[in-house]
């Protein structure tokens, strides 16, 4: 079954509309929750009056930041670690009276229907004390009064750096020194299905049905947010309409879990709008890069220096891991004896940056590859030849993460095939000295990415297989199918190892933390490798 093109195991149900997503599993008598978002970008709530909303016919409950647990909890989908240094930053409350960005969550309404809930939101009256808003990380990192989070006086969440060789000396020895700055924008994931959940109670336990990439971690974070044992929570993940990293964060599941406890355990549906998804979930970080490099007369890199400043937004989420991952990539690909890297992740009064496909690598690769092109142009060298001169060759061992090494890579073969395929040399000559408004060109860039999150987190996965009476096999995994084809891959792997046809492998696509083996979830391009090993 491996190496063959097979129909996706979930294709038929999805194209016929039979696949059950979270909204398809909401019970008919479900209450509806809506969130009241702040109307200022920075400040505190001086007073909040919910009496008119509570008096509206059909409103079951109104809760504010005064009603929720007052301790902070973390939201990113990282495995729980007993090491304090590797635990995520806990800087968020279920609801807050300290507004840190426009749209921050202040209160929530639970009503019999959506229209009533929306009407009730308009009846809530809030008085604010406003503070200056800072949206630029380069300015914010010099501090603000008051700071966005009290424990970070300079608004810098984390700073990290490394030094290899002596960059200053390398630059002095260089024939040419080039300096450039680059910036990537904020991006939203735009998955088809907005974050949605339904929460209710059974036998004193909270059950949350949710569209998430990380059901087992959602259970843990809900427990942390509510201050209750994790075993009192059950999370069910049905089919999911895309995630791309946004749903690798625990978004509104803790709020919904809290709301059901406030209405006697009745089911509560919390479905946010597209506008709320843009503003109130997660985004790809905007990162600014200041890059410096020195090259000798033959075009070899002698020194390179990176300063990265990441706009984190109002809360930590996945935080500095994104900028740090990109900073690590600065050491890779292009060989150089003298390297310096420094990165800052900075709080601002903007929507929160979190995980998104590539986890900091798209941002840094954009900056690095633009820089390589600019260096080549500055010294008058073909960008393809410049890269060939400076790419790592053969065995490579990372200077900081000693166990990480590469014995081989196919990058030079890739470059040759790519250049031949697009007729690089011919077109470069053909497109020289063009004039007019419409011009043509050819370009190239490289991309380096790893799988998994070693060494900073635990890679854990589980699988359960059952032999049915007809000889077929049932497969249950903690790993999540989020549209990327994981269920098909795991079915192929199982069929291959057991020497069976894929039609006799019956995979359960729904994860249920009460019965599904533990798996940390879908992220970091890890599942085929990590969970696939478990399947094998």
Domains, the chain, with CATH or none: 156-185+285-392 (3.30.365.10), 454-535 (3.30.365.10)
Length of the chain: 536
CA torsion sign for 286, 287, 288, 289 is: negative
pLDDT tens-digit readout, 309-366:
999 999 999 999 999 999 999 998 899 999 999 999 999 999 999 999 999 999 999 9
Q: 3-state SS string over 376-407? A: HHHHCCCHHHHHHHHECCCCEECCCCCCCEEC
Distance in angstroms (rounded) separating the CA atoms of residues 530 and 461: 7
Give the integer Cα–Cα distance in Å for 170 and 147.
39
- In sequence order, what are the beta bridge partners of 269? 32, 198
What does the alpha-carbon distance between residue 217 and residue 74 come to, in Å, rounded to a whole number?
Answer: 11
CA 529 to chain centre: 19
Helices (DSSP H) in 422-514: which residue ranges? Answer: 424-430, 486-498
Q: Are 237 and 480 in contact (CB under 8 A)?
A: yes
- Output phi, psi for 275, to 5 deg: -60, -45
Contact 269, 257 (CB under 8 A): no
What are φ and ψ of residue 527, in 5° steps? -70, -40
- Break the chain down into helix, strand, coil percent, rounded to 5: 30, 25, 45
pLDDT at residue 82, as a whole number: 67
Q: What is the pLDDT of residues 108-163, one digit of tens each?
A: 999 999 999 999 999 999 999 999 999 999 999 999 999 999 999 999 999 999 99
Residues 6+ apart with CB under 8 A from 100: 42, 148, 149, 314, 315, 347, 349
Q: Which residue has the tokens 């000559």?
A: 429
- The list of the chain residues with pLDDT below 50 reads none
| Phi, psi (deg, nearest 5) at residue 126 | -130, 135
DSSP class of residue 248?
Answer: G
Phi, psi (degrees; rounded to nearest 5) at 304: -150, 145
The dihedral formed by the CA atoms of 354, 358, 362 and 363, expressed in degrees to the nearest 10: 30
- The two tokens of residue 467 are 């032999």
């Amino acid at each position: 079954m491996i190496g063959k093109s097979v129909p996706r195991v979930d294709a038929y149900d999805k194209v016929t509309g039979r696949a059950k997503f979270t909204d398809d599993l909401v019970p008919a008598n479900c209450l509806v929750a809506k969130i009241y978002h702040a109307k200022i970008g920075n400040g505190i709530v001086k007073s909040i009056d919910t009496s008119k909303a509570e008096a509206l016919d059909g409103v079951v409950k109104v809760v504010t930041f005064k009603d929720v647990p007052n301790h902070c909890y973390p939201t990113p989908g990282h495995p729980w670690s007993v090491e304090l240094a590797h635990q995520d930053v806990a800087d968020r409350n279920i609801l807050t009276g300290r507004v840190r960005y426009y749209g921050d969550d202040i209160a929530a309404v639970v009503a019999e229907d959506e229209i009533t809930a929306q009407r009730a939101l308009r009846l809530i009256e809030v008085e604010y004390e406003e503070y200056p808003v800072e949206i630029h990380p380069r300015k914010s990192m010099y501090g603000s009064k008051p700071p966005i989070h009290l424990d970070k006086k300079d608004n810098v969440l984390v700073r990290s750096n490394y030094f290899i060789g002596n960059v200053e000396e390398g630059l002095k020895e260089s024939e040419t020194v080039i300096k450039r700055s680059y910036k990537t924008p904020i991006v939203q994931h735009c998955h088809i299905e907005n974050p949605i959940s339904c929460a209710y109670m059974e036998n004193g336990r909270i059950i949350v049905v949710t569209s998430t990439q990380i059901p087992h971690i959602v259970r843990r974070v809900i427990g942390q947010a509510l201050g209750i044992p994790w075993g009192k929570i059950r999370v069910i993940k049905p089919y999911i309409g895309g995630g791309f990293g946004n749903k690798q964060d625990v978004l509104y599941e803790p709020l919904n879990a809290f709301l059901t406890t406030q209405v006697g355990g009745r089911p509560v549906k919390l479905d946010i709008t597209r506008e709320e998804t843009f503003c109130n979930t997660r985004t790809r970080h905007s990162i600014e890069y200041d890059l410096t490099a020195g090259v000798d007369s033959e075009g070899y890199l002698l020194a390179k220096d990176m300063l990265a400043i990441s706009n984190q937004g109002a809360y930590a989420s996945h935080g500095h891991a994104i900028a740090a991952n990109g900073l690590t990539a600065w050491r890779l690909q292009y060989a150089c004896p003298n390297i310096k890297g420094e990165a800052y992740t900075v709080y601002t009064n903007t929507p929160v940056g979190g995980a998104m496909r590539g986890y900091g690598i798209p941002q840094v690769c954009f900056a690095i590859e633009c820089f390589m092109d600019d260096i080549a142009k500055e010294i008058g060298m073909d960008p393809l030849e410049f890269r060939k001169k400076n790419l790592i060759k053969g065995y490579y061992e990372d200077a900081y993460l000693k166990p990480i090494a590469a014995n081989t890579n196919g990058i030079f073969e890739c470059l040759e095939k790519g250049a031949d395929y697009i007729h690089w040399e011919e077109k470069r000559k053909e497109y020289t000295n063009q004039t007019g408004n419409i011009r043509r060109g050819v370009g190239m860039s490289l991309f380096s990415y790893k799988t998994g999150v070693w060494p900073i987190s635990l890679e854990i996965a589980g699988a359960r297989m059952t032999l049915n009476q007809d000889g077929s096999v049932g497969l249950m995994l903690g790993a999540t199918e989020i549209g990327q084809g994981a269920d098909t891959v795991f079915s192929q792997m199982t069929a291959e190892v057991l020497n069976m046809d894929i039609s006799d492998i019956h995979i359960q696509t729904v994860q249920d933390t009460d019965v599904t083996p533990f798996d940390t979830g879908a992220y970091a391009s890890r599942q085929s490798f990590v969970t696939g090993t478990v399947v094998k």
